[in-house]
């Protein structure tokens, strides 16, 4: 989709805008899936531009903190040369975990927009309402459910493929070894 910002064309409607950026995050998630990582993608948008990108890669980076959101926040801070991401919005395909929810507050993200909910570990609406705590020194706005079906389908397809692969591997291990007897 061609995105044009300007006075003549007017700004995209918010929902359309959110879906556009979520598709960018989804394409990053697909990159993660291609290298065997759980597919979650994130981008940071500032003033209509992507300033940070990341996909979940703790295995590839040997880094337990290498979640999509953290990588996108770090890149955005480098791009903007500011550790505070004022007026920046973060789009992520899956509801953030507690670590990433904390990082959103530390980085002063203006708005979090996420796709699928994470019923087991999501810290925003599922297991906790982290961003609504009254002891935080920064309030992050939140929008959920943008392209939720596409975001969760990508995850469930990944886990299904992984289960099938493990089943095949297990079956291969159980095959009796055929040793030819010497003549």
**Catalytic residue annotation:** 69
How many residues are recorded in the chain? 183
Contact 116, 148 (CB under 8 A): yes
Q: What does DSSP assign to residue 175?
A: S
Smaller CB distance to Zn ion: residue 98 or 145? 98
> Shortest distance, CB of residue 108 to Zn ion, whole angstroms?
18
Smaller CB distance to Zn ion: residue 3 or 65? 65
Q: What does DSSP assign to residue 132?
A: G
> Shortest distance, CB of residue 43 to Zn ion, whole angstroms?
15
Smaller CB distance to Zn ion: residue 12 or 136? 136
* Three-class secondary structure of residue 5 per DSSP: coil
Contact 70, 97 (CB under 8 A): no
> Shortest distance, CB of residue 2 to Zn ion, whole angstroms?
32
Q: How big, in percent rounded to 5, are the helix, strand and coil portions of the chain?
A: 40, 15, 40
Smaller CB distance to Zn ion: residue 3 or 99? 99
Instruction: Provide the CB-side half-sphere exposure for 138 (13 A, CA).
Output: 18
> Shortest distance, CB of residue 59 to Zn ion, whole angstroms?
14
Binding site for Zn ion (CB under 5 A): 67, 97, 99-100
Instruction: Provide the CB-side half-sphere exposure for 3 (13 A, CA).
Output: 15
């Amino acid at each position: 989709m061609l995105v044009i910002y300007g006075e003549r064309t007017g700004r995209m409607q918010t929902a359309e805008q959110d879906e556009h950026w979520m598709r960018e995050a989804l394409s990053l998630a697909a990159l993660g899936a291609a290298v065997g990582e759980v597919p979650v993608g994130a981008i940071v948008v500032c003033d209509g531009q992507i300033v940070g990108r990341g996909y979940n890669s703790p295995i590839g980076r040997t880094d337990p903190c290498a979640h999509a959101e953290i990588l996108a926040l770090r890149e955005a801070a480098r791009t903007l040369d500011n550790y505070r991401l004022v007026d920046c919005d973060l789009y992520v395909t899956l509801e953030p975990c507690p670590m990433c929810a904390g990082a959103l507050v530390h980085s002063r993200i203006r708005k979090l927009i996420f796709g699928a909910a994470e019923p087991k570990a999501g810290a925003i609406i599922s297991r906790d309402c982290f961003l609504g705590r009254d002891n935080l020194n920064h309030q992050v706005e939140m929008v959920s459910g943008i392209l939720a079906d596409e975001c969760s389908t990508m995850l469930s397809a990944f886990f299904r493929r992984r289960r099938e692969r493990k089943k095949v591997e297990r079956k291969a291990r159980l095959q009796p070894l055929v040793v030819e007897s010497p003549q």
